[in-house]
A and B are shown apart, each in its own frame.
Chain A
Amino acid sequence: MTNQTLNDERLQLLASVLDLVIPPSPDGNKPGAGELGLANQLAAGMAGDAMMAAMIGAGLDKIEQLAGPDGFAALDPSQRQSLLEKANEEVPGLVPFLTFRVYTLYYQDNRVLEALGLAPRPPHPVGYEMEPFDESLLAPVRGRAKLYRTTERGE
Chain B
Amino acid sequence: MPSAQKPMRYGHTEGHTDVCFNDTGSCIVTCGSDGDVRIWENLDDDDPTSINVGEKAYSCALKNGRLITAVSNNTVQIHTFPEGAPDGILTRFTTNANHIIFNSDGTKIAAGSSDFMVKVVEVADSSKQKTFRGHDAPVLSLSFDPRDVYLASASCDGSVRVWKIADQTCTTSWPLLQKCNDVINAKSICRLGWQPGTGKLLAIPVDKVVKLYRRETWDSQFDLSDTFITQTLNVVAWSPCGQYLAAGSVDGCIVVWDMESQKSIERMKHEKSYTICGLAWHPKYKQIAYTDTEGNLGLLENIGDEKKPNDKVTSRATKDYNDLFDGDDDYLSGDMVEPQSSPKSRANEDDDDDLKPTSGHFRRTVIDDDDNSLDIGMIKANSNLLEKEDDDDDQTGGFSALPPSSTQQPFYDGPVPTPKQKPFQSGSTPAHLMHRFMVWNSVGIIRCYNDEQDNAIDIEFHDTSIHHATHLPNSLNHTMADLSTEAILLACESTEELASKLHCIHFSSWDASKEWTVDMPKDEDIEAICLGQGWAACATSALLVRVFTVGGVQKEIFSLPGPVVSMAGHGEQLMVIYHRGTGFDGDQCLGVQLMELGKKKKQILHGDPLSLTKKSYLIWVGFSAEGTPCYVDSEGIVQMLNRGLGNTWIPVCNTREHCKGKSDHYWVVGIHENPQQLRCIPCKGARFPPTLPRPAVAILSFKLPYCQVTTEKGQMEEQYWRSVVFHNHVDYLTKNGYELDESAKSQAVKEQQELLMKLFALSCKLEREFRCVELADLMTQNVVNLAIKYASRSRRLNLAQRLSEMAVEKASELAAAPEDEEEEEEDFRKQLNAGYSNSAMEWRRQPVRNVQQDQEMEDAEETDAYEEVEETPEVHKERPNPFSKGVTSAEVTTPKSVVIASSSQGRVNPFKVSSNKKDPVVPSANVLDTMSKYSKKNGSSSGRAVNKQSPPVIKPLIPKPKSKQTSAASFFQARTLNSSEKTVEEREEKSGNESHEVKVTAQENTENRRPKTGFQMWLEENRANILKDNPDLNEAEIIKEGMSRFRTLSSEERTAWTEKAKGGTVNDSAEDKKRKRPTADEDEVEKNEEQKSEDSNLSKKPKPLDQSANVRLSAFAFKQS
Q: Do the two chains belong together in a single complex?
A: no
| A→B interface (CB under 8 Å) | none
Residues of B in contact with A (beta carbons under 8 Å apart)? none
